[in-house]
Structure 1
Amino acid sequence: MLQAILLDLDNTLILFDETAFYLRFMERISPRFASCFSADEFRMRLLRAFRGLLKNPGAVNNRTFFLDRFCQGVEDRRAWIWEQFDTFYSTIYETIPVSVKTPADLMPVLDQLADWGLPLVLATNPLFPPVALVKRLAWAELTPDRFVLLTHLDNMSAVKPRTAYYRQIINMIGAEPETCLMVGNDSVNDLAAGALGLKTFLTTDATRGHT
């Protein structure tokens, strides 16, 4: 019997051009760090820190592990660096232009699942702080209270497609893998849940001209 549904966010619940958004994101975030890094160095550090999360052994949360990698060589600026990230996500992130659509009948489907009492998990790759997720959900007029759990930089210690990420979710919601369904658009990151025993469903909205 199905006990919970895990839902990816980007190009599953919200359909948009991720590459175009990433370029605008970089244009707006790098100036906040200009007193410490050139745009190229900032980009290098950010990518290194994001990619490094794949190696998080789980002893610390993703934010701590991210900052460990990002701040290499400038550890004395760590508090200032996180302050810049936090301020950016709290005030500027939502102003980045983005064209978003949602899958057909998204709201009725989510409402039906709620009526059935099925817990929903926002199982988005936990690379960003919770404030950023709330703003991304707002693109689709969704609110956090639809979900029993949102995975983000602060409450997770693994990322997709590692099995440890899905195991952590299962432990947090107190379910068995075989009773959960992971829904997403990425055949690598999302279908990796199947290795732990979760049922999986690959969406195709993002590949049918919606992004």
Structure 2
Amino acid sequence: MIRAVLFDLDDTLLDINLTAFVARWASGKARILAKASGIPYPIVMERLARSYMRVNDQTRDDQMTNEQLLNETFFSLTSIPLDDPAIADAIGFYERECLEPLKGGIVMAAPKIGARQTVEKAMSMGLTVALATNPTLSMDVDRVRMRWAGVDDIDFALVSHIANSTRTKPCARYYQEFAAQLGLAPQECLMVGNDAARDFPRPDIGMSTAYVGHGWPRKAVFRGPIEALGARLPEIVDLLDSRQDLR
């Protein structure tokens, strides 16, 4: 039985040029670290990128959170301790207070039409709603994008971020751990996402996905805009529940 709906954030609830946003956010972070360490900005930027690439490595076999691995990797490359209180405070202030100007221009962040209504529909059905965004950024950065999406006031049961996850999408372990934190099995969750490469767990763990992107993945239980998903959500949940009853 489906008990929860897990929503992706970027390009699912939030219309955003994510590549542009990440580039501008990372540039600001690298400039702070360069100023604090005396290491030239281009070097810091390159090594920050390498550190995040390691976090996203789908062949990882470590037991660290994504944040712990990022800190360890970046320190090994630069000797800059991201968990030093002074550095962490500076980065935290930047991510809480200085990202709002990035909303416009090339980033073009705005709520997805019908997205909030779809979340509210799931809640009205008595389903748990959670925000399963790819956990490479901090909760502070998640909150900024949630605000841009117009869902920051919704009581999500769980929001994934770099400090509470040990893998990234599409690794099955990420989805298994996320569901477990909700007290659920993957089969009890419906994932809503726009990325055919990331929002379907790999390998398959029995978690269904409603696809709201521009492609046409055959394994999706729904394909179309998120505004249409809200209207069909009761039908989709009933269908998934009936399939499970037949097993």
- TM-score per shorter chain, which class? 0.7 to 0.9
**What is the TM-score with the length of structure 2 in the denominator?**
0.75
Residue-by-residue CA offset, 1:46-91 (whole Å, 9 max, x unaligned): 2111111135535222211110011114446441543432232122
- Partner residue in 2 for 1:100: 109
Q: May I ask how many residue pairs the two structures share in their alignment? A: 208
RCO greater where, 1 or 2, for CA within 8 Å and sep 6 or more?
1
Tell me, which stretches of 5 or more residues in structure 2 are unaligned? 216-223, 225-247
- Partner residue in 2 for 1:82: 88
Q: Does 1:40 align with 2:42?
A: yes
Q: Which amino acid in structure 1 is aligned with residue 149 of structure 2?
A: A
Corresponding residue to 1:65 among 69, 74, 81: 69
**What is the TM-score with the length of structure 1 in the denominator?**
0.87
- Partner residue in 2 for 1:135: 144
Q: Does 1:200 align with 2:204?
A: no
Q: Which amino acid in structure 1 is aligned with residue 101 of structure 2?
A: T
State percent identity of aligned pairs. 24
Assess, with a 3 A threshold, how the Cα gap between structure 1 residues 109 and 69 changes in structure 2: closer, same or farther. same
* 1:195, distance to aligned residue in structure 2 (A): 0.8
Q: Does 1:112 align with 2:121?
A: yes
* 1:108, distance to aligned residue in structure 2 (A): 2.2
Compare CA radii of gyration and give the structure with the larger one.
2
Q: Which amino acid in structure 2 is aligned with residue 38 of structure 1?
A: P
Tell me, which stretches of 5 or more residues in structure 1 are unaligned? none
SS in 2 for 1:72: helix
Q: Which stretch shifts more, 60-69 or 142-151?
A: 142-151
Q: CA RMSD in A?
A: 2.4
Asked whether the equivalents of residues 134 and 144 of structure 1 are also in contact (C-alpha less than 8 Å), the reply is: no
Asked whether the equivalents of residues 7 and 182 of structure 1 are also in contact (C-alpha less than 8 Å), the reply is: yes
> How far apart, CA to CA, are the structure 2 residues paired with 1:108 and 1:73?
45
- Partner residue in 2 for 1:17: 17
